[in-house]
A and B are shown apart, each in its own frame.
Chain A
Amino acid sequence: MWLLAFYRSTIGKKVIMAVTGLIGIGFVLVHMAGNLQAFAGWPKLNAYGAMLHGPLNELLWIVRIVLIVAVVLHVLMAWQLTRRAGAARPREYRERRPQVSTLASRTMRWGGVLLLVFIVFHILHFTTEQVDPAGWRGRLDAAGHRDVYGNVVASFHIWWVTLFYIVAMIFLGLHLYHGAWSSMRSLGYAKASPHPLHRRIALVIAIVVWLGFTLVPLGVLAGLLR
């Protein structure tokens, strides 16, 4: 019954957390790259979208399933670990002064909740188009593809949508600044170092992802995408 013992232990849960998190990182990097095609003009992005839903549909579904499972597990573990952490200190200190813990590490939980909200909203927005602030549902482009590009541009002309995305991306960056580093440690990979708290790679990943995504709404605001 080692699997059960593993699942019950906090280390086991952290490992699941880390693996699903890393899957997430992999996805966002790819997705980010896909989005940046927007700067290559509407035909490129729409064609990309069409390709995903067309020829690569089966692949897409596999990816979707992996992602859904990952997110569900990730959130479930996050919830359970947070509960356990809370239970471990029934009475808080009158005074507590964090010394070295980063803002990122301290916002994993609420930031995570925001990310969850974002993801749900985001899929309803761009994928299923049930949420349609720009009124772009079902529109096609000149090439007859779903006009993803137009939806993006139109949506980011709406101030609160843009704001929400930008804020969400900030939290994503924070989430990864801690997560990309801690996940490796959770999995037990850490080169002994005089400064265990330093994290260069995580910093790069966080900035790349944050910037890469944020460029799109910024591009729209700057009028580069229209």
Chain B
Amino acid sequence: MNLILHVWRQPGPDRGGEFVRYDAHDISPEMSFLEMLDVVNEDLVGRGERPIAFDHDCREGICGSCGIMINGIAHGPMQATATCQLHMRHFADGAVVWIEPWRARGFPVITDLVVNRSAFDRIIAAGGFISANTGNAPEANSVPVPKQNADDAMDAAACIGCGACVAACPNGSASLFTAAKISHLGLLPQGQPERQRRALRMVAQMEAEGFGPCSWFGECQEACPKDISIDTIARMNHDFVRAAAATRIEAPVRGSA
């Protein structure tokens, strides 16, 4: 099959960019979307041109490196599917495909389709952990966890940190990502001691990074390759309100980028 691609090309950070048209020829429906780009790139390189830069690594939908806005849909048309797991059989022959990077103030574009997502690391560093230093852990079975909680925690913990939620959200909100971690840890007994602190600090950091508010559009959940539910956002708000009411410490915010 053949495709007409309009790809966002941007030579570097805070440089201007533009859409460039490429015609992709004899693409196999068995290819993944990234393999299709590989083919286009090998062509470009063969002609000595700069290939299209995009992040990717595992190509199994688990590392969260990949992420492209495809025809206005984060990670493309298939639900619960990361870009690397999207296959060309879902595109019609001769289709026109607009390819854009994630766009958000918290995700500055580095080159072409590659964006800087380190804001997510800073959100986790603000409190997305359980302080259990190596060595001082109790015997694993000494704290039973109801299966339901363990399963719900796992659902939330499945987040791969790809950023599609931000990309898809009309508000550029990182609520789903942040809430997924707050829910994962908040659902486990091990996560209780730091639960309030975690909510206050992670939310404060999320906002310091310039991500938008949640207006409950629900687009994030739809774009999420791991089906994280917006119910987690309700849980985040719940924890945040409780924490804000209970504590007198103002959540300190580490310098954002």
A residues with CB within 8 A of B: 1-2, 4-6, 9-15, 81, 84-85, 87-101, 105-106, 108, 178, 181-182, 185-190, 192-193, 196-197
25 interchain pairs, CB-CB under 8 A: A2-B245, A2-B247, A9-B244, A10-B207, A10-B212, A11-B236, A13-B213, A84-B171, A85-B170, A85-B171, A85-B172, A89-B104, A92-B103, A94-B8, A94-B98, A98-B170, A100-B218, A105-B215, A187-B241, A188-B234, A188-B242, A192-B229, A192-B231, A193-B231, A196-B231
Give the distance to chain A from B9, nearest Cβ to Cβ, in Å.
13
Q: Is the CB of A81 within 8 A of B216?
A: no
Q: Which of A4, A5, A101, A190 contacts B204 (CB 8 A)?
A: A5
Q: Is B89 positioned at the interface, with any CB of A under 8 Å from its CB?
A: no
Contact: B213 with A197, CB < 8 Å?
no
For A13, what are the chain B residues with a Cβ–Cβ distance below 8 Å? 213
Report the Cα distance A6→B245, complex, angstroms.
Answer: 9
Instruction: Say yes or no: A10 contacts B214, CB within 8 Å.
Output: yes
Residues of B within 8 A of A93 (CB): 69, 72, 100, 103
Task: Report whether A88 and B231 are in contact in the complex, using a CB–CB cutoff of 8 Å.
Answer: no
In the bound assembly, the distance between CA atoms of A225 and B233 in angstroms comes to 47
- A sample of 7 more A-B contacts (CB under 8 A), given A2-B248, A97-B73, is A9-B244, A11-B241, A88-B105, A89-B212, A94-B19, A95-B69, A100-B219
Known contacts: A5-B244, A11-B237. The answer to whether A105 contacts B212 by CB under 8 A is no
Contacts of B171 in A (CB 8 A): 84-85, 88-89
Interface residues of B (CB under 8 A from A): 6, 8, 19, 69, 71-73, 98, 100, 103-106, 152, 168, 170-173, 200, 203-204, 207, 210-219, 221-223, 229-231, 233-242, 244-245, 247-251
- Are the C-beta atoms of B217 and A101 separated by less than 8 Å? yes
**What is the chain B residue whose CB lies nearest that of A12?**
B244
A196, B232: Cα distance in complex, Å: 10
A15 to B231, CA, bound (A): 16
B71 and A9 contact, CB distance less than 8 A: no
- Alpha-carbon distance between A222 and B150 when the two chains are bound, in angstroms: 60
* Contact call A190/B72, Cβ cutoff below 8 A: no
A186 to B6, CA, bound (A): 38
Closest to B6 in A: A94
> In the complex, what's the smallest C-beta–C-beta distance from A224 to chain B, in angstroms?
38
Q: Is the CB of B103 within 8 A of A89?
A: yes
Contacts of B73 in A (CB 8 A): 97, 99
On chain A, the residues within 8 Å of B223 by CB distance are: 99
